[in-house]
Amino acid sequence: MTHTRILLVDDHAVVRGGLRMLLAADPDLDIVGEAENGMQGIRMAGELQPDVVLMDISMPDMNGIEATRRIKAQYPNIAVLALTMHEDDQYFFEMLAAGASGYVPKRAAPNDLISAIQAVRGGGMFLFPSVARTLVQDYLQRREQPSDAPGPQGFEDLTEREREVLTLIAEGRTNQEIADLLVISIKTVNRHRENIMAKLNLHSRVELVRYAIAQGLIDLK
């Protein structure tokens, strides 16, 4: 089995030390580097090209949200997994919007963290159950709010192919991966995504994920 190469980004040396000890117990996980702030994390992500970055949020010099945004812009194949003490909506949604593939609180059990690493390494997403509930509740509240804009028509209004594309996008798959899995061109993937957004009145990746979870399209582990 191919080892998963991990970069730790956290400003607390004690936390990084604890993660090293925890992850060392799994022979398939290799910690290839450590950074103590977002700027170092970006630089080391470029130098080391890890499979997964475990990213704290509150750090000096540059926080994890901005670091995640820059890493995903420069190195889209690197998966970023938020590992943080913050469990409130603001940080969660901002990390997803920045491109994170998962969100795990530091209080999570070791097995949950390892499962999260494996999920995002494989191109999927991992949302800790309490975080997933927040996402669903936010989506449902938004649907209940009156708006002048037309609401989502519903999953049943999508074609079978659009449903497949929606599920793969919400799982964190890239356009190239979706094209390869469905044996279609990237141009066709983009056209399907545009149609999905128009039909469901969705405007971002975060809204797609909210919708997909509410519809039960994503396995939250």
In the structure, what pLDDT confidence band is assigned to residue 152 with cuts at 50, 70 and 90? very low
Same domain (yes/no): 158, 87: no
Same domain (yes/no): 14, 123: yes
Residue where a domain terminates, one of 127, 161, 178: 127
Mark out the alpha helices in the chain (DSSP H runs).
13-24, 38-48, 64-74, 89-98, 110-121, 129-144, 160-170, 175-182, 186-200, 205-214
Q: For the domain that residue 111 is a member of, what is the CATH number?
A: 3.40.50.2300
Q: For the domain that residue 209 is a member of, what is the CATH number?
A: 1.10.10.10
In the structure, what pLDDT confidence band is assigned to residue 91 with cuts at 50, 70 and 90? confident
Indicate the residue type of 104.
V
The answer to the question of residue 220 being in a domain is: no
Dihedral, CA atoms, 104, 110, 114, 119, nearest 10 degrees?
A: -40
Alpha-carbon distance of 129 to 33, in angstroms, equals 29
Per-residue tokens: 130: 């309490």
Tell me which residue range forms the domain holding 118.
4-127
Same domain (yes/no): 113, 150: no
Tokens 């970069």 correspond to what residue?
Answer: 7
Q: Is 195 exposed, middle or buried (0-12, 13-18, 19+ CB in 10 A)?
A: middle
Alpha-carbon distance of 60 to 212, in angstroms, equals 34
Confidence check: pLDDT of 124 > 50: yes
Lowest mean pLDDT of 33-37, 75-79, 90-94, 106-110, name the range.
90-94
Q: Alpha carbon of 37 to those of 16, 42, 179, 201: distances in Å?
A: 12, 9, 35, 37
Per-residue tokens: 200: 């469901």
Same domain (yes/no): 108, 189: no
Same domain (yes/no): 67, 12: yes
Average pLDDT, integer, range 205-220: 68
The answer to the question of residue 16 being in a domain is: yes
Residue where a domain terminates, one of 93, 108, 127: 127
**pLDDT tens by residue, 30-79:** 999 999 999 999 999 999 999 999 999 999 889 999 999 999 999 999 99
The answer to the question of residue 221 being in a domain is: no
Per the structure, the count of domains in the chain is: 2
Cβ atoms of residues 220 and 130 within 8 Å: no
Q: What is the DSSP letter of 156?
A: G
